[in-house]
């Protein structure tokens, strides 16, 4: 199955296609983000930026697993100095990912970038940073408060959700109440590998988040559940690596998708997926979004 | 890059996983540099690197100086912890990663300090016709006896204690650059920048290959911490070896980024 191409209106953004770069992947520098846009991405989400510069966790920060990637970067970021990186991206579809330890910190970071970013994505879902990410994102009241703190600035505000909860729709509905423009589902799945030779967890942080093909079914399920419960658009994320994955995610309820781990081996995967996904005799995308429901 | 593959004995690594290796020997090469030998070794291409885990401390990128050795200068906490290890201790290894140097005969190699480590395999396999090697002092010249047996060597030291007094670029004036098929360079950032300027002035930037060092977290091209300006290429995956002409208008010699992504002047 193929879909027709055209401008994609989602979560307050107008994108050239359905395929965005996910947060945390090749998003540390402006030139890297520009490279991904030149590789055919419809939009890019930056590395999560926080209220203070952070060096992240000690290594190993990444290890490959069968069908996936396990990481615990620890939210490394240059904080406000990231403004300099965005200079080469003026006018481009750049979504700034934000993390903070409370609603005020989210708002502070967002206010620094209100003139340069096209939209915000709130990282309420990183599974391996104490006091940040999923530490807030598993509490619907905090999700609502953080979302409200940023959405009140008037720019499109997306909220990225964690799958590491019993019911992801509670957090989705909380973001919706807080004024979110879209939901992004999902962040990584909390996970661990142990080196049997070293007799210790592989990652420096011990616990990390799993991404890549192995979490795609989890992501589809989460998007499906959110589509049943929420009215705002959903951006599917988690293990997408082919046009078939994009179609499946759209049928679950996604209006667009983000691609992360699959970019590792081929930064121009956006262009190759688009070639497979779009056709002038395809079906209109709107007719398949959520069509697996009912 | 490069068509000739150097055959090296060793088990191919499962590149993605973390493999434990046991330190078999530690050799003091210079006052500040040690070589750590480990078992098992594995196949690699000259110029490739591995991510080395010092258990419980950190993980750092290190060039391979042989199929079963890394050669390390003590510069920070992680390398300091590595210097505390003993033969018999375990390290974690991921890799080898990156592209490596093109493997061609008729190579001119230019090494500065511990930058001789990734160039050593090219020399030992007979691909280097001439090696220019520089260091701060005579006793910091790395691998000099064995390299001298394999190729013609010209030496420069900052303090004049051996060879030409001054930076290694001073040796370039004496070299008929156009007679070499390629020029492979590894050393401190400022040295590489100076070498590239000299090579460019001689019209040789397009035949030169420089091995860059940048802060890395993942080593496999996904995190973005080692991307260079202005084109966003990843040192860990698209490099670490880049052609000189592609670096002429880059951040080389100007700035790098630290672990947080903030720019630091070189």
Q: Give pLDDT tens digits for B191-242.
A: 999 999 999 999 999 999 999 999 999 999 999 999 999 999 999 999 999 9
Q: What backbone phi and psi angles, to 5 degrees, belong to B61? A: -80, 135
What pLDDT digit, counting tens, does each position of A155-181 carry?
A: 999 999 999 999 999 999 999 999 999
**Predicted local distance difference test score (pLDDT) of residue B9:** 38
Task: Report the percent of chain B where pLDDT is more than 70.
Answer: 94
Angle value at C-alpha A269, between B2 and A187, nearest 5 degrees: 120
**Predicted local distance difference test score (pLDDT) of residue B15:** 58
Looking at beta carbons, which residues of chain A come within 8 Å of B58?
A: 58-59, 204
Q: Tens of pLDDT along chain A (294 residues)?
A: 999 999 999 999 999 999 999 999 999 999 999 999 999 999 999 999 999 999 999 999 999 998 999 999 999 999 999 999 999 999 999 999 999 999 999 999 999 999 999 999 999 998 888 888 888 999 999 999 999 999 999 999 999 999 999 999 999 999 999 999 999 999 999 999 999 999 999 999 999 999 999 999 999 999 999 999 999 999 999 999 999 999 999 999 999 999 999 999 899 999 999 999 999 999 999 999 999 998
Nearest to B262 among A47, A73, A78 (CB): A78
Mean predicted lDDT score pLDDT of chain A: 97
Question: ipTM, 2 decimals?
Answer: 0.95
Residues of chain B where predicted confidence (pLDDT) is lower than 70: 1-15
**Nearest CA distance, A280 vs chain B (angstrom):** 33
Tell me how crowded residue B88 is: count the other CB atoms within 10 A of its CB. 8
The whole-angstrom separation of Cα B58 and Cα B84 is 14
For chain B, domains (ranges, CATH) are 19-97 (2.40.30.10), 107-265 (3.40.50.80)
Nearest to A59 among B58, B221, B229 (CB): B58
pTM: 0.94
Question: Looking at chain B, which residue has its C-alpha nearest residue A88?
Answer: B230
Helix, strand, or coil (residue B65): strand
For chain A, domains (ranges, CATH) are 8-56+70-188+209-287 (3.20.20.70)
Helix, strand, or coil (residue A198): coil
Q: Which of A235, A222, A214 is nearest to A289 (CA)?
A: A235
For residue B51, the surrounding DSSP H or E stretch is strand B49-54
Pairing of strands A194-195, A254-259: unpaired
**Nearest CA distance, B253 vs chain A (angstrom):** 17
Q: What backbone phi and psi angles, to 5 degrees, belong to B6? A: -80, 120
Chain A / chain B CB contacts < 8 angstroms: 138
Q: Does B212 touch chain A (CB under 8 A)?
A: no
Integer CA distances (angstroms), B92 to A200, A202, B25, in order? 11, 9, 16
The residue behind tokens 């500040």 is B32
Residue B257 CB-density burial (10 A; 0-12 exposed, 13-18 middle, 19+ buried) = buried
Testing the interface with A: which of B13, B217, B263 to mutate, by most A Cβ within 10 A? Answer: B217
């Amino acid at each position: 199955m193929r879909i027709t191409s055209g401008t994609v209106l989602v979560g307050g953004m107008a994108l050239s296609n359905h395929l965005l770069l996910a947060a945390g992947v090749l998003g540390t520098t402006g030139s890297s983000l520009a490279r991904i846009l030149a590789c055919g991405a419809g939009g890019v989400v930056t590395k999560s930026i926080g209220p203070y510069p952070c060096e992240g966790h000690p290594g190993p920060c990444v290890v490959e697993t069968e069908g996936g990637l396990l990481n615990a970067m620890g939210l490394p970021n240059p904080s406000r100095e990231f403004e300099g990186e965005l200079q080469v991206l003026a006018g481009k579809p750049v979504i700034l990912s934000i993390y903070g330890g409370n609603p005020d910190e989210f708002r502070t970071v967002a206010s620094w970038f209100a003139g340069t970013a096209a939209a915000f994505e709130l990282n309420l879902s990183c599974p391996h940073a104490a006091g940040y990410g999923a530490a807030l994102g598993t509490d619907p009241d905090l999700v609502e408060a953080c979302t409200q703190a940023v959405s009140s600035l008037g720019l499109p505000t997306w909220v990225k959700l964690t799958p590491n909860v019993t019911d992801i729709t509670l957090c989705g509905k909380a973001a919706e109440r807080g004024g979110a423009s879209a939901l992004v589902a999902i962040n990584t799945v909390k996970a661990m590998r142990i080196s049997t030779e070293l007799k210790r967890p592989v990652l420096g942080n011990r616990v990390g988040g799993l991404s890549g093909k192995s979490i795609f079914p989890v992501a589809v399920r989460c998007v499906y559940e959110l589509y049943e419960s929420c009215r705002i658009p959903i951006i599917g994320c988690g293990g997408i690596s082919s046009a078939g994955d994009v179609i499946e995610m759209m049928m679950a309820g996604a209006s667009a998708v983000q691609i992360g781990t699959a970019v590792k081996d081929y930064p121009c995967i956006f262009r190759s997926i688009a070639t497979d996904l779009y056709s002038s005799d395809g079906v209109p995308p709107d007719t398949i979004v959520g069509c697996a429901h009912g | 890059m490069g068509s000739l593959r150097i055959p090296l004995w060793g088990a191919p690594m499962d590149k993605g996983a973390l493999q434990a290796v046991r330190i078999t020997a530690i050799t003091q090469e210079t006052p500040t540099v040690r070589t750590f030998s480990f078992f098992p070794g594995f196949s690699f291409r000259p110029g490739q690197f591995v991510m080395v885990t010092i258990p419980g401390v950190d993980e750092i990128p290190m060039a391979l100086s042989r199929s079963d050795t890394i050669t390390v200068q003590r510069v920070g906490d992680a390398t300091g912890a590595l210097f505390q290890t003993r033969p018999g201790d375990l390290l974690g290894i991921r890799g080898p990663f990156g592209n490596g140097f093109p493997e061609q005969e008729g190579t001119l190699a230019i090494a500065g300090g511990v930058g001789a480590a990734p160039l050593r395999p090219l020399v030992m396999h007979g691909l280097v016709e001439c090696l220019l090697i520089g260091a701060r002092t005579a006793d910091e010249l790395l691998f000099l006896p064995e390299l001298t047996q394999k190729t013609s060597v010209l030496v420069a030291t900052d303090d004049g204690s051996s060879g030409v007094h001054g930076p290694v670029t001073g040796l370039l004036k004496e070299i008929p650059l156009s007679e070499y098929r390629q020029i492979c360079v590894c050393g401190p950032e400022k040295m590489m920048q100076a070498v590239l300027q000299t090579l460019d002035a001689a019209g040789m930037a397009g035949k030169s290959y420089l091995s860059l060092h940048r802060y890395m977290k993942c080593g496999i091209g996904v995190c973005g911490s080692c991307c260079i300006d202005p084109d966003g290429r990843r040192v860990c995956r698209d490099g670490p070896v880049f052609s000189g002409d592609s670096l002429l208008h880059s951040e080389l010699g100007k700035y790098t980024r630290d672990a947080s992504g903030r720019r630091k002047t070189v």
